[in-house]
Amino acid sequence: MTDEELVREVQERLALRQSAEARQSLGCLVERQYDWLMRMCLFETSSRELAEECVQQIMLELTKSIGSFSFRSSLKTWLFAIARRTVKRHRKRHYRLLSFFEREQEEFREECARGVDAVFPDGETRRLVSERGRRVLDGVRRLAEAQRQAVFLHYYEDLSIEETARRMGCSASSVKTHLLRARKKLRSWFDEHGEGMEQLL
């Protein structure tokens, strides 16, 4: 059963006021979407707690609005747009809170920019990523939002250019441009930080 078929099932059950069955289908849908959404939120926020909060928020929005989902785009495109918005909002709020309570905003930003260590807080998961992978991830996380998300979907989520475009809600040529610019920036970043590609490759 595809995601869209599952959404239709939820909508039908809601229309028939079968709350228990609708809840069951909704639970199935949430479970299916959890992994990629959590990966995206982790990648974007660099904090497990913040990522969990974001995923919860996204899922609640999904359950609230699923009755009115009109299939103008795919479910994943819709969720991606919600996720992007939610992550942005949570990041802003988190920074504000941090600056208000701890006055350590800059420190937090630096921690976020450390990249892989912030994303993978414990040693066990950190060991899964090689030194080379860490450096690349560091560079990727410094890219502009659209470029970063294109890289995440195309390389880390292993989607084709067309699928990435569909998920981001833009054209394939836009995705190609984002990726090209991202690679160019990464190259200059590696050169600036004395980590030439020759060393990395």
Site for another protein in 142-161 (CB under 8 A): 151, 155-158
**99 or 113, CB closer to another protein?**
113
Task: Tell me how far, at minimum, the Cβ of 122 lies from another protein, in Å.
Answer: 8
Encoded one letter per residue, x for contact with another protein by CB under 8 A and - for no contact, window 172-191 reads: --------x--xx-xx----
For another protein, which is the closer residue by CB, 23 or 105?
Answer: 23
| Chosen residue from 119, 150, 165, 175 binding another protein by CB under 8 A | 119
Cβ closest to another protein, residue 65 vs residue 171 = 65
Cβ proximity of 7 and 66 under 8 Å? yes
Give, in order, the Cα–Cα distances in Å from 48 to each of 70, 162, 178.
32, 30, 27
Among 50, 75, 87, 140, binds another protein (CB under 8 A): 140
> How many whole angstroms separate alpha carbon 111 and alpha carbon 120?
12
For residue 111, which amino acid is it?
Answer: E
d(CA 98, CA 100): 5
Q: Are 62 and 33 in contact (CB under 8 A)?
A: yes
